[in-house]
């Protein structure tokens, strides 16, 4: 491990580390545009200049291009280095328009930060600027090429990291242009990352265009709820509207990026004006007390007429861990059988088999996928069920891993060999082999864990699950020996259903009334329910979920609930009602409603939702990597 000195601080870092990273490791920030931890170096922007005072290399050097060497003495504050950086910034700004006030990146712009930090406050250049014609890149991304500083981050991400072929860099010298051959939507399912990765405002989120500035954002560390991978995100809200979603770093899961589905489709249901906003009894608005009492009354009547076991409490794979943990208590007090965490019996059996069959030793994280040297994909359409897994597989392939697919042909942005069975995959001779499967393929994949290995580590498995919190649902289902709703109904004893953020197939509830639906989505089940209790969406509450690997992750409340100001009927303003909560804002997290029902049924109020083995998750850091539940 080479030892060097940076700004008088002795640093010891691993061989191959760059001077820029070595400086970052001791909290010395060096300005940079083209260098990015996930993309590496390009040496294109010249803004990370430092001065080497002593050692094997001397003079002004680009810190992102220079690997650390023994006896280096580096200065980031040397006048010569600072003058160099200031000049580079001034030069990069020559063609950059003075349009920060109308640019969506303003306030969260790396170029803005480094221009000011570099001391280039006043323009000296008075000549004409290079200009470009922008392209229409589809509904999600706004293109403004005049702002470009040629760091090449976008094209390196799009082509190298994500394997896209319809976006690139054209021209040469002062005319380089980053775009497509012709106008048209970007084809890569990871195109939204251009917004995050561009150090200035060439690519901005069209869906949130001109809506808010960085310093006005409601933001919190959160977890994507679009699939079972649980990628880290930062939702951005303002005026009670979820504006956009930004990728958040989590080295164990999604690394730096997120998929377009997570970025561009998660906000729509949260902002949906048709969301349930007030408790309702038989379609009429009601207060929380009367709605809760009505449920208790109807449950009591059913119990009197039909005896214990006539109520089915139904959870779901999108309910947070806190809600799931309280459901068994409510079912006990309602003299019901264990809650149904699954509607479909087959799904319950397969998901439970996968979740109970996984252990800490064999469950592969997405980091394991990226580092694997042999990957077998068994009968699962990753692009549809877990898009970010595709990006992880591609990173492994870029590092030389062999990728094989069995069954369903998959369209991946990397070479992939179709084989008949897992026996045809050279797992036994690999160093770090991984099988990626769906729940239906888990049992077969599981057998390969005990495969005798020539010299590598045993086979690990990454099993894609049906929903964002399927792992928790399967754990609770298993722990309480719960059956599916399908099975419960076939017993003939169920006379009423209480659905907690559950989507109940209409054929299951055809003859059985849904007494109550607790939900934040405007679902068919909500429409069919006698009593509706509106819950907070994931962005409006704290919660915990467990991803497909078995990693418990905490998400924090981003915004206060309420009808988004944007889109409200102006005729309704100003409201003359006195109120302390915004319109449509009187929502409660599902677990609180469950708790309230427990109290009204004669139980005791819960002071802490996570008990027993879940206790360790109470103080889970939402900004950390999460915690594999195998360590509980």
Handedness of CA 82, 84, 87, 88 (dihedral sign): negative
Shortest CB 175 distance to another protein, Å: 8
Shortest CB 363 distance to another protein, Å: 38
Nearer to another protein, 394 or 495 (CB): 394
Q: Is 493 exposed, middle or buried (0-12, 13-18, 19+ CB in 10 A)?
A: middle
Shortest CB 126 distance to another protein, Å: 23
Nearer to another protein, 181 or 214 (CB): 181
Nearer to another protein, 120 or 132 (CB): 132
Nearer to another protein, 170 or 361 (CB): 170
Shortest CB 87 distance to another protein, Å: 22
What residues contact residue 384 under an 8 Å CB cut-off, 6+ apart? none
In the numeric block, which tokens belong to residue 229?
A: 């991978």
Shortest CB 174 distance to another protein, Å: 12
Nearer to another protein, 44 or 53 (CB): 44
The residues that bridge with 4 in the sheet, in sequence order, are 11, 72
Shortest CB 114 distance to another protein, Å: 28
Instruction: Determine the Cα angle at 526 with ends 524 and 529, to 5°.
Output: 110
Question: Cα(473)–Cα(476) distance, rounded to whole angstroms?
Answer: 5
Nearer to another protein, 128 or 182 (CB): 182
Shortest CB 133 distance to another protein, Å: 14
Question: Cα(161)–Cα(40) distance, rounded to whole angstroms?
Answer: 11
Nearer to another protein, 91 or 177 (CB): 177
Question: What size, in residues, is the chain?
Answer: 632
β-bridge pairing 222-223 and 241-247: unpaired
Task: Give the max Cα distance, the chain.
Answer: 89
> CB-side exposure of 228: number of CA atoms within 13 Å?
25
Nearer to another protein, 171 or 287 (CB): 171
Question: Cα(130)–Cα(146) distance, rounded to whole angstroms?
Answer: 7
Nearer to another protein, 171 or 308 (CB): 171
Nearer to another protein, 170 or 418 (CB): 170
Q: Is 485 strand, coil or helix?
A: helix
Shortest CB 206 distance to another protein, Å: 21
DSSP, residue by residue, 542-606: -EEEE-TTSEEEEE---S--S--STT--GGG-S-----SS-TT---B-HHHHHHHHHHHTT-PPP
Shortest CB 169 distance to another protein, Å: 6
Shortest CB 259 distance to another protein, Å: 21
Nearer to another protein, 189 or 426 (CB): 189
Q: Is 139 exposed, middle or buried (0-12, 13-18, 19+ CB in 10 A)?
A: exposed
In the numeric block, which tokens belong to residue 391?
A: 């990006």
482 dihedral zone (left: phi>0; alpha: psi -120 to 50; beta): beta
In the numeric block, which tokens belong to residue 192?
A: 């939204």
Residue 158 · residue 164 · CB < 8 Å: yes
Question: Cα(252)–Cα(67) distance, rounded to whole angstroms?
Answer: 26
Nearer to another protein, 185 or 506 (CB): 185
β-bridge pairing 374-378 and 280-281: unpaired
Residue 491 · residue 472 · CB < 8 Å: no
E strand intervals along 87-201: 141-143, 168-170, 177-179
Shortest CB 172 distance to another protein, Å: 5
Shortest CB 547 distance to another protein, Å: 34
Chain residues binding another protein by CB under 8 A are 165-172, 175, 177, 180-182
């Amino acid at each position: 491990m080479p030892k060097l000195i940076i700004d008088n601080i002795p640093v010891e870092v691993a061989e191959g580390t760059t001077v820029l990273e070595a400086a970052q490791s001791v909290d010395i920030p060096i300005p940079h545009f083209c260098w990015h931890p996930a993309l590496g170096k390009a040496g294109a922007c010249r803004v990370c200049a430092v001065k080497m005072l002593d050692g094997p290399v001397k003079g002004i050097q680009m810190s992102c291009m220079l690997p650390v060497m023994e006896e280096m003495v580096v200065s980031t504050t040397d006048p010569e280095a600072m003058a160099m950086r200031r000049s580079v910034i001034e030069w990069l700004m020559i063609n950059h328009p003075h349009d920060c006030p109308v640019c969506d990146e303003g306030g969260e712009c790396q170029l803005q930060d480094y221009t000011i930090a570099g001391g280039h406050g006043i323009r000296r250049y008075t000549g004409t600027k290079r200009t470009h014609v922008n392209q229409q890149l589809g509904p999600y991304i706004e293109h403004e090429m005049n702002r470009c500083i040629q760091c090449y981050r976008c094209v390196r991400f799009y082509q190298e990291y994500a394997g896209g072929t319809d976006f690139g860099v054209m021209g040469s010298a002062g005319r380089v242009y980053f775009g497509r051959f012709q106008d048209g939507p970007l084809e890569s399912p990871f195109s939204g990352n251009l917004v995050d990765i561009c150090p200035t405002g060439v690519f901005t989120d069209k869906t949130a265009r001109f809506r808010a500035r960085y310093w006005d954002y409601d933001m919190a560390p959160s977890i994507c709820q679009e699939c079972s991978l649980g990628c880290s995100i930062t939702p951005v809200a303002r005026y009670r509207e979820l504006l956009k979603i930004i990728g958040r770093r989590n080295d164990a899961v999604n690394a730096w990026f997120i998929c377009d589905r997570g970025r561009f489709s998660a906000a729509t249901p949260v902002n949906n004006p048709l969301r349930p906003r007030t408790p309702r009894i038989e379609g009429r608005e009601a207060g929380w007390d009367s709605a809760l009492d009505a449920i208790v009354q109807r449950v009591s009547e059913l119990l009197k007429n039909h005896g214990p076991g006539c109520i089915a409490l139904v959870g779901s794979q999108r309910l947070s861990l806190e809600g799931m943990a309280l459901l068994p208590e409510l079912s006990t007090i309602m003299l019901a059988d264990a809650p149904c965490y699954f509607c479909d019996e087959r799904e319950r059996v397969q998901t439970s088999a996968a979740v109970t069959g996984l252990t800490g030793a064999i469950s592969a994280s997405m980091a394991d996928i990226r580092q694997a040297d042999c990957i077998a994909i068994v009968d699962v359409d990753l692009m549809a069920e877990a898009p970010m897994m595709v990006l992880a597989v591609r990173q492994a392939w870029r590092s030389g891993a062999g990728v094989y697919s069995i069954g369903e042909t998959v369209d991946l942005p990397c070479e992939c060999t179709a084989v008949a069975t897992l026996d045809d995959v050279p797992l036994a001779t690999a160093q770090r082999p991984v099988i990626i499967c769906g729940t239906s393929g888990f049992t077969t994949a599981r057998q390969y864990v005990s495969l005798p290995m020539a010299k590598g580590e045993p086979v690990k498995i990454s099993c894609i699950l049906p929903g964002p919190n399927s792992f928790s649902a399967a754990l609770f289902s298993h722990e309480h020996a719960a059956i599916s709703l399908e099975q419960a109904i076939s017993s003939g004893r169920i006379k009423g259903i209480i659905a907690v953020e559950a989507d109940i197939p209409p054929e299951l509830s055809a003859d059985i009334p849904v007494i109550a639906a607790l939900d934040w989505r405007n679902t068919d089940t909500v429409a069919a329910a006698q009593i509706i209790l509106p819950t907070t969406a994931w962005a409006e509450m704290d919660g915990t979920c467990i991803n497909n690997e078995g990693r418990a992750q905490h998400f924090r409340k981003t915004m206060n609930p309420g009808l988004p100001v944007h889109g409200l009927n102006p005729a309704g303003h100003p409201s003359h009602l006195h109120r302390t909560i915004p319109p449509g804002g009187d929502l409660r997290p599902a677990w609180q409603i469950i708790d309230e029902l427990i109290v009204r049924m004669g139980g005791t109020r819960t002071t802490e939702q996570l008990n027993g083995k879940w206790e360790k998750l109470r103080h889970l850091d939402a900004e950390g990597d999460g915690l594999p539940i195998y360590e509980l």
